Amino acid sequence: MLYATSVCLNDKENKYALFTAEAKGYRTDDKYVIYLESDYMPLINEEILANYDMIANLLQLWNFEFIYIPKLSQTFREMDPSYLFDILRYMNPRLSAEMLDSLYARLTLFTTESYTRDYVATTSKKDFFYTIEPSLLINVGVSLLPPATPSQRERCCVNMLTIRLDDEPNSVFNEVRRFVDCYENLITEPEYHRPKRGKKLFRYHGFYKQLFDFLVRHHTNGEDNQIIIDIPARRIWLRGVEMAMSATQLATYVFILHQTCCTHHGGLIKAGQHHPLSEKDIQRLGQAYRAICNLFRDTPIVCERSYIDDVPNIRGYIARIRTMIENQIDTQDMDYYYPKDSADKSMYRVAINPCFVKIRHAGGECLFTDFPLWKQLK
């Protein structure tokens, strides 16, 4: 915490950010340094892969563990599949064979972008993680906050520090080096730990337990949690409940899902007096909106009407969709399906994990993110 306070007070480049989240939703062990990114950055990932052993060993000298999700996925891929499947079956006897296959694929193909958006952003309830630049995440302690009202209890919160990485050679190693040097100067009785290289065994503690439990929780009863969009029938189901949406309402909801799940923005950017759009954004959003509307229309939209002209109608559709979901979905589950405002009110997004959104189309059924049309949209 001393380190976090020191760097934040002396930060002139907005590299460091200290924030608090409720521990019941998100918590990592103090001794993890985790690489995050909301959009894949080739140069930084190449640097991490080239310097991974140096970074990991440097941190391990001080009993910190460097978490780089692609390396974690690689570890799962290199395990004997029968060994990993046996563990998954033992720990989750309720999962069907199909769900086990899905969980296995998720573990072996998990990415940093997915971890950042699906886990960190969702569980910490901090919207800036949806669009965070390449950064390091460090847990810097736990705090007890007093109750807001006499009827409430104290809240246990975890304090986390993010360190934005510069776009320069060896930025990750250099930042880790600075962190270690500062940490060494702050502790009174240093304890050095020799780096260890163990066997590739399944680990179920600390960070690994949290991540594994999160993935399992999102696969258990997955059929009940899905959004299913049937394009030919122009129908949609949320948690098995059919929503009586009109074609334009359905198109608007799919539009928000597309902008949330398939773009680096992580949501549908609002337009208006307080949120001016660039000409590039207007063209991009207009193209996507027309293409999605045409999925649910008998007569395609061919005019080049500006996206800005449609914004008032879109706002009206969103308001009706919200009312419909409020009336038909349990309050405790509604947050996963409800088109919510981001923390800065700059966009709408639907918080559900993309792996639970499916599309039925003329060619069959697929995950929402694999729908062929999205590849044609910028």
- pLDDT by position in tens, the chain (length 378): 656 666 666 666 678 878 777 665 455 556 789 999 988 888 999 999 999 999 999 888 888 889 999 998 888 888 888 888 888 888 777 677 777 887 888 888 888 988 888 788 877 778 788 888 899 998 877 777 777 677 666 666 778 888 889 878 888 999 898 888 877 776 656 555 555 555 566 776 667 777 777 776 665 545 556 789 999 999 999 888 889 899 889 999 999 999 888 887 778 888 765 667 788 888 888 888 889 988 998 766 655 556 666 777 888 888 899 888 888 876 556 767 888 887 667 788 887 777 778 899 988 888 888 899 988 886
Q: pLDDT at position 134, please?
A: 92
**How many C-beta neighbours within 10 Å does residue 96 have?**
12
**Alpha-carbon gap, residue 182 to 7, rounded angstroms:** 10
> CA neighbours within 13 Å on the CB side: how many for 270?
18
Q: Where are the alpha helices (DSSP H) in 25-156?
A: 42-60, 69-78, 81-91, 97-109, 112-114, 122-124
**Alpha-carbon gap, residue 123 to 117, rounded angstroms:** 9
pTM: 0.62
Question: Which residue's entry shows tokens 């340094």?
Answer: 33
Contact 73, 109 (CB under 8 A): yes
**Alpha-carbon gap, residue 104 to 88, rounded angstroms:** 8
* End-to-end Cα separation, the chain, in angstroms: 42
3-state helix, strand, coil in the chain (%, to 5): 50, 15, 35
Burial of 80 (0-12, 13-18, 19+ CB in 10 A): exposed
